């Protein structure tokens, strides 16, 4: 049994070095890679204020998308550009179904749009505000009197719809109830939210921390106040007036749309592999909505015309302006840093005001960006995870091409920057992590940035499985990406010590500095290295037996044998726990939808292992008191026991062993 475990740990050690975030938590936009755009992006193609030329844009987009589909291993995509009340271009690229060679049609192909559809949720909330049924600054519990959901009064300040719409409610991250295996497993929204309510881990209104649960709760408030389901409400009050006839939250997708669904793909061993559609248990949080790019174009047109679409109005102009203004600044000392509007995420680039949202499911990536001052909107969707970086590259390339930044590029690091950067080094972890469940593994491993410094004063950041990025100081605590425009800023405490990190292009996240002992390097070292040490105990058991037989030594006493097997069994259980949760991480979506038997057993194993480890601590003292074995063997036994304690401590900090 030890050899398979050793092979598994070796493979998983390599995975840890290259793994990227699973689909449900693809929030680390700050690690975008770059593909050279198909044409020079910095040449303005029209005078300021002139509309985009449709033919020129299509030519540029055709070349750009061809490059993206190849570079990012994406089978199909679609783009919609609207401007001045009209659709400039609506076009598909590649295949919606590779096997049948069905091409993507932006007017017909139905995609999963992920959390981009949270904008529909916030539209519904603001309609409730206009109707007088909802208030942004009122305790949400006031709207849940008939609901199974009750928000606990953990802090004196209650959670409001304002907090939910700006992702400042203070919830820990949670995936509970997000996915199910089959549409027959779907349950009423209120029941799912009540059973899977995450802990409140910080006061509301203090920090930005993206929350899927918060969006789901906002949608539930809407359905409670209107006495209907969320899906029926948005069908009548958003989709119908906007002629979004091919958009739906229904699961499974209605029969009339089934034949037009794009398949979702992963790229494995040089081939595209089709995947089964996901079933989402909390519709307002975004994953359940399917739509055509053309329908999303209608949604953009309505918001660019301040709530008006043709003869229909979904929101008043003042409401739209209120949603588009900045509600939360993550650090007021750095006004150029993107923050949160209401429901909309700030995406400013090149000094252009941009608001919108992006969305991720396991197999689809989308992005919607509005340029309100340009009366322009861009929507793109991809049917493979490769679209994660491609969408942000497209947004930047479009902005560079049509609204290039004026002014000089960043220069060399100023004098003293190396010393100042050295004070900022360490690990910074997103607040969007679970604090109380094994889901924390996902956040710790994939949402932690390590900040370093080069000899010549450049700052560096790197996330697990991503390339290192380099930044140059603009002023103390504020940096700009070398070769780019994104800003990075730090927040400091009263003593001048950096406590938080913010990426300029990623509004809905706050990264908090962690102590050295909670760093990613220490965590990986203890979990992976510790597991290898524990395996040595498993190898020593049969090895010691064979050595004694070979040397003709006396067999161990019963007490010595019990001590060895006690630590050996504990070591086996700790290693099995590590393997179980690494595999659960790699198969995260499936484990969220329906925890496997292995995962359920894995949640119990560490408690049994902990009992055995405590017994080994006692046995260690007895071994030294009674002179068990030789000194080297006793030292090894002691070392393995200490490592087991370290592994237990680290698994506890990862949410796997929660006492």
Q: In this predicted model, what pLDDT tens digit does every residue of 411-432 receive, in sequence order?
A: 789 999 999 999 999 999 999 9
Q: What is the mean pLDDT of residues 87-114?
A: 98
Q: The domain spanning residue 317 has which CATH number?
A: 3.40.710.10
* Confidence band, pLDDT 50/70/90 cuts, at residue 547: low
Q: Give me the domain span that covers residue 505.
A: 417-514
Classify residue 408: in a domain, yes or no. Answer: no
* Tokens standing for residue 456: 């010549």
Let me know whether 337 and 375 are in one domain. yes
Classify residue 170: in a domain, yes or no. Answer: yes
Classify residue 398: in a domain, yes or no. Answer: yes
* Confidence band, pLDDT 50/70/90 cuts, at residue 243: very high
d(C-alpha 76, C-alpha 264), whole Å: 9
Classify residue 22: in a domain, yes or no. Answer: no
Nearest by Cα to 30 from 478, 392, 351, 476: 392
Mean pLDDT of the residues in the chain: 90
* Confidence band, pLDDT 50/70/90 cuts, at residue 198: very high
Number of C-beta neighbours around residue 6 at 10 A: 16
Classify residue 214: in a domain, yes or no. Answer: yes
| pLDDT tens digits, one per residue of 284-325 | 998 899 999 999 999 999 999 999 999 999 999 999 999 999
Nearest by Cα to 482 from 471, 490, 474, 473: 471
Let me know whether 444 and 305 are in one domain. no
Let me know whether 223 and 369 are in one domain. yes
| pLDDT tens digits, one per residue of 511-538 | 999 999 999 999 999 999 999 999 988 8
Let me know whether 586 and 605 are in one domain. yes
* Tokens standing for residue 94: 């590649």
| pLDDT tens digits, one per residue of 45-78 | 555 567 899 999 999 999 999 999 999 999 999 9
d(C-alpha 295, C-alpha 453), whole Å: 46
Q: Is the pLDDT of residue 10 over 50?
A: no
Let me know whether 586 and 489 are in one domain. no
What was the pLDDT predicted at 132? 97
Let me know whether 503 and 424 are in one domain. yes
In angstroms, what is the C-alpha Rg of the chain? 27
What was the pLDDT predicted at 552? 57
Q: Is the pLDDT of residue 242 over 80?
A: yes
Nearest by Cα to 7 from 532, 372, 392, 515: 532
Let me know whether 387 and 424 are in one domain. no
- Structural domains of the chain, count: 3
Q: The domain spanning residue 428 has which CATH number?
A: 2.40.128
Nearest by Cα to 531 from 651, 443, 635: 651
What was the pLDDT predicted at 434? 95
Let me know whether 237 and 134 are in one domain. yes
Percent of the chain, pLDDT > 70? Answer: 89
What was the pLDDT predicted at 558? 83
What was the pLDDT predicted at 45? 57
Let me know whether 362 and 233 are in one domain. yes
Number of C-beta neighbours around residue 456 at 10 A: 10
User: CA triplet 445, 447, 17: central angle to 5 degrees?
Assistant: 40
Let me know whether 176 and 209 are in one domain. yes
d(C-alpha 523, C-alpha 541), whole Å: 27
DSSP 352: B
């Amino acid at each position: 049994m030890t050899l398979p475990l050793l092979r598994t740990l070796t493979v998983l050690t390599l995975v840890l070095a290259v793994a990227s975030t699973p689909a449900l938590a693809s929030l680390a936009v700050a690690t975008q890679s770059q593909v050279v755009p198909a044409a020079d992006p910095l040449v303005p193609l029209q005078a300021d204020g002139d509309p985009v030329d449709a033919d020129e844009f299509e030519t540029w987009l055709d070349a750009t998308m061809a490059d993206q589909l190849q570079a990012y291993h994406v089978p199909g995509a679609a783009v919609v550009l609207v401007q001045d009340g009209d659709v400039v271009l609506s076009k598909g690229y590649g295949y919606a179904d590779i096997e049948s060679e069905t091409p993507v049609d932006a007017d017909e192909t139905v995609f999963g749009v992920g959390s981009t559809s949270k904008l529909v949720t916030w539209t519904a909330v603001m309609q409730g505000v206009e109707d007088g049924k909802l208030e942004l600054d009122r305790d949400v519990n006031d709207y849940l009197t008939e609901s199974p959901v009750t928000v606990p009064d953990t802090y004196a300040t209650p959670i409001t719809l304002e907090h939910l719409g700006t992702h400042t409610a203070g919830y820990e991250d949670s995936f509970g109830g997000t996915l199910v295996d089959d549409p027959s497993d779907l349950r009423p929204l209120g029941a799912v939210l009540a059973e899977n309510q995450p802990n409140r881990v910080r006061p509301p209104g203090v920090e930005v921390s993206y929350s899927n649960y918060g969006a789901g709760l906002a949608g539930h408030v809407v359905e409670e106040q209107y006495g209907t389901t969320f899906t029926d409400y948005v069908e009548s009050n958003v989709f119908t007036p906007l002629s979004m006839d091919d958009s739906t939250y229904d699961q499974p997708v209605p029969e009339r749309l089934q034949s037009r669904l794009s398949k979702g793909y992963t790229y494995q061993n040089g081939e595209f592999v089709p995947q089964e559609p996901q079933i989402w248990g909390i519709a307002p949080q975004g994953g359940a909505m399917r739509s055509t790019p053309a329908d999303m174009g209608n949604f953009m047109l309505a918001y660019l015309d301040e709530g008006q679409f043709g003869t229909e109005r979904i929101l008043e102009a003042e409401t739209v302006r209120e949603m588009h203004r900045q509600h939360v600044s993550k650090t007021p000392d750095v006004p150029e840093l993107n923050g949160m509007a209401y429901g909309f995420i700030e995406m400013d680039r090149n000094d252009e005001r941009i608001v919108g949202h992006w969305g991720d499911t396991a197999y689809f990536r989308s992005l919607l960006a509005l340029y309100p001052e340009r009366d322009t909107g861009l929507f793109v969707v991809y049917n493979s995870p490769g679209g994660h970086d491609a969408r942000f590259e497209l947004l930047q390339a479009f902005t560079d091409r049509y609204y290039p930044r004026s002014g000089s590029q960043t220069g060399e690091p100023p004098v003293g920057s190396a010393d100042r950067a050295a004070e900022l080094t360490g690990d910074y972890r997103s607040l969007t992590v679970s604090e109380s469940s094994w889901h924390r593994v996902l956040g710790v491993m994939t949402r932690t940035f390590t900040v370093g410094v080069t000899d010549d004063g450049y700052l560096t950041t790197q996330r697990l499985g991503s390339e290192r990025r380099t930044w140059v100081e603009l002023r103390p605590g504020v940096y700009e990406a070398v070769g780019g425009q994104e800003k990075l800023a730090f927040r400091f405490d009263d003593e001048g010590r950096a406590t938080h990190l913010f990426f300029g292009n990623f509004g809905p996240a706050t990264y908090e500095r962690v102590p050295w002992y909670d760093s990613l390097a220490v965590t990986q070292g203890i979990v992976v290295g510790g597991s290898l040490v524990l395996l040595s105990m498993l190898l020593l058991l049969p090895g010691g037996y064979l050595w004694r037989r070979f040397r003709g030594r006396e067999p161990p006493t019963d007490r010595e044998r019990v001590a060895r097997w006690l630590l050996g069994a504990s070591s086996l259980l700790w290693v099995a726990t590590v393997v179980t949760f690494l595999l659960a991480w790699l198969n995260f979506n499936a484990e969220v939808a329906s925890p496997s038997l292995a995962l359920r057993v894995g949640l119990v194993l560490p408690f049994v292992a902990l009992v055995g480890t405590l017994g080994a601590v006692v046995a260690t003292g007895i071994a030294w008191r009674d002179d068990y074995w030789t000194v080297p063997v006793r030292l090894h036994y002691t070392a393995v026991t200490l490592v087991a304690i370290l592994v237990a401590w680290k698994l506890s900090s990862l949410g796997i062993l929660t006492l």
